[in-house]
Structure 1
Amino acid sequence: MLTKEYRIAMPLTVEEYHIGQLYMIARHSNEQSQGGDGVEVVVNRECSEDEENMNDNQKAFLRERENHTKGQFTEKRIHLSSRLPFWLQAVTPRVFYVTEKSYNFYPLTITEYTCSFLPKFRVEIYTKFENNNGSTENLFKIPEEEYQQITIDHVDIAFDEINPKHYKEEEDPKFFKSVKTNRGPLVEGWRQTDRPIMCSYKLVHACFEVWGFQTKTEEFIHRCIRDVLLLGHRQAFSWIDQWIDMDMDAVREYEKKSQEETNQKVLSDAEAPSDVPAESEAANNSTKEISEID
């Protein structure tokens, strides 16, 4: 298992981020869902820290919160069939998905990813939010000798390089300026000077216990997770004028409508038949996919 801690500072307060995160996830899932791929919401309901499917570590983590109100549980299926290399599509079920289970007791959350087709695959993410720029050390209270082995990765939403295929100038914090809050653009050193500021601390365990593939695959999983964190948090800030006036009721209603639309899009497209690629094309594409993991 490979563990890393990501710290993502944002020019927001922890209270504002609660709304912005829900808006961003709902909108991002909708925009990324098409052609049978995307995020299907299976369950979205209230929950407690004593859910029977949670392990003891998860329950203990959630009991740390000061406000013992109920949380929100979501279960999602992230459909990936057409995004797999063709050689892998040939041996996987036609409807291939990763299951995401999330327990949101803001400002503490737990998210886990599993896949029935890959029983040795598991990702577990513990998250805490604080009103600072990522300066708190060992927020997760890990034994010191173990903590020294964990890589701390400070993610800069403005100046870290993003995958070019996801780049949009209007979502670039170096250029974006909020009309409603007057925040932005973010300049070099903004995490030391901008106020308000908060940080999302994420302790990420990536596990793929398959001999000969474990190290490379776990590193690859972390690269993918970092890319998603960077893109999502850039969007949460650059979309601030769309969500800053929402309260919790309004964002939950937006979330509900967006999830219904996304489910309809993913499931209806998934039922449509797809063409089988030619063997030569499959071979070329599979080689490309393997080289990308390297």
Structure 2
Amino acid sequence: YKIGQLYMISKHSHEQSDRGEGVEVVQNEPFEDPHHGNGQFTEKRVYLNSKLPSWARAVVPKIFYVTEKAWNYYPYTITEYTCSFLPKFSIHIETKYEDNKGSNDRIFDNEAKDLEREVCFIDIACDEIPERYYKESEDPKHFKSEKTGRGQLREGWRDSHQPIMCSYKLVTVKFEVWGLQTRVEQFVHKVVRDILLIGHRQAFAWVDEWYDMTMDEVREFERATQEATNRKIGVFPPVISISSTPLLPSSVRSAPSSAPSTPLSTDAPEFLSVPKDRPRKKSAPETLTLPDPEKKATLNLPGIHSSDKPCRPKSE
């Protein structure tokens, strides 16, 4: 399944991408962690504006994407989703793979011992998926693998089929915005569950396509598919990276001597300096005389008269 998941993710991303929507691969390279060892780091942009519900589209920009960063140290992976437009939104997923039928209830005790958790089993054969994603060829109840003989899963298949493995996911969703937090977090959990269900159904139904692949072959498939997916999405404005470059001493600059150079001093050039012996012009008098507060001031404006006596309305 180490190979199967890579194949499934690449093919699924390509199928779900179209002009302006889908998954753009920004970075995919080997990565080494001092604790988890050798792995693979990927960064992607998921453009999904049209897939958002109407209440969400009303508050996000037209070009909207989520950044996905993943560290794959199979059989342990970390995936994070963030969005610069929504700084208080994040999804954190930790995954562990084990050769059992989901019977390890303590697999995330160290990572989430102080968190309130809800355990949800996902059955790739019997759970309902959104109708728009259903394909009979990807239905484990109907699919039969020619290379492995696996397939046509029936109710209770987890107790009878071998070999079997479980993908354990610890999903944490945060959206700390008053008034929307509960609604958004519940919506995201449902979306994540649907994606996991669909993706793992496809990994099972596509087993004949990846079963004989080597790691080098699936990496080449991944590279070619990602390039095709990026072209399918279309060209997006490039990310501009600004880096600070220290100024070099004038003796090693490559510009000709006649070219103006950037001054290395913070002082103003001599021709902009104010002569120290030049008298300053005075823009205000040396002293300012204020009126005596003991004396009453009378303000006369056209049509308005001031008086110490109260005003009485004139009789008509």
In structure 2, C-alpha distance between the alignment counterparts of 1:145 and 1:97, rounded to whole Å: 32
In structure 1, C-alpha distance between the alignment counterparts of 2:232 and 2:139, rounded to whole Å: 28
In structure 1, C-alpha distance between the alignment counterparts of 2:11 and 2:192, rounded to whole Å: 18
Q: From 90, 95, 110, give the equivalent of 2:78.
A: 110
Measured after TM superposition, the shift of residue 83 of structure 1 is 3.4
Higher helix share: 1
Q: Tell me, which stretches of 5 or more residues in structure 1 are unaligned?
A: 1-16, 51-62, 272-294
**1:189 equivalenced with 2:189 (yes/no):** no
> Matches of residues 130-141 of structure 1 in structure 2 within 5 Å?
130-141=98-109
**Larger Rg computed on CA atoms:** 2
Label 1:81 to 1:216 Cα distance change in 2 as closer, same or farther (>3 A). Answer: closer
Secondary structure of the 2:114 match is: helix
What does the per-residue CA deviation read over 1:143-202, in whole Å, with 9 as the maximum and x for residues that have no partner? 88636x311111000000111110011100011000010001111111011000000000
Runs of 4+ in 1 over 6 A off after TM superposition: none
Label 1:90 to 1:161 Cα distance change in 2 as closer, same or farther (>3 A). Answer: closer
**1:158 equivalenced with 2:129 (yes/no):** no
Number of residue-to-residue matches in the alignment: 237
In structure 1, C-alpha distance between the alignment counterparts of 2:56 and 2:125, rounded to whole Å: 36
Letter in 2 for 1:73: F
In structure 2, C-alpha distance between the alignment counterparts of 1:163 and 1:123, rounded to whole Å: 22
TM-score, normalised with respect to structure 2:
0.71
Secondary structure of the 1:117 match is: coil
Label 1:89 to 1:205 Cα distance change in 2 as closer, same or farther (>3 A). Answer: closer
Provide the aligned C-alpha RMSD in A: 1.9
Letter in 2 for 1:44: N
Measured after TM superposition, the shift of residue 137 of structure 1 is 1.4
Q: From 122, 136, 139, give the equivalent of 1:172.
A: 139
Label 1:87 to 1:203 Cα distance change in 2 as closer, same or farther (>3 A). Answer: closer
CA contact (8 A) 2:19 2:234 kept: no
Measured after TM superposition, the shift of residue 28 of structure 1 is 0.4
Letter in 1 for 2:9: I
Tell me the equivalent position of 2:215: 248
In structure 2, C-alpha distance between the alignment counterparts of 1:87 and 1:19, rounded to whole Å: 38
Tell me the equivalent position of 1:25: 9
What does the per-residue CA deviation read over 1:103-162, in whole Å, with 9 as the maximum and x for residues that have no partner? 001111000000000111100000000000010112022488636x31111100000011
Measured after TM superposition, the shift of residue 90 of structure 1 is 6.7
Q: From 233, 238, 243, give the equivalent of 2:205.
A: 238
Q: Tell me, which stretches of 5 or more residues in structure 2 are unaligned?
A: 238-316
Letter in 2 for 1:256: R
Structure number with the bigger relative contact order (C-alpha 8 A, sep ≥ 6) is 1
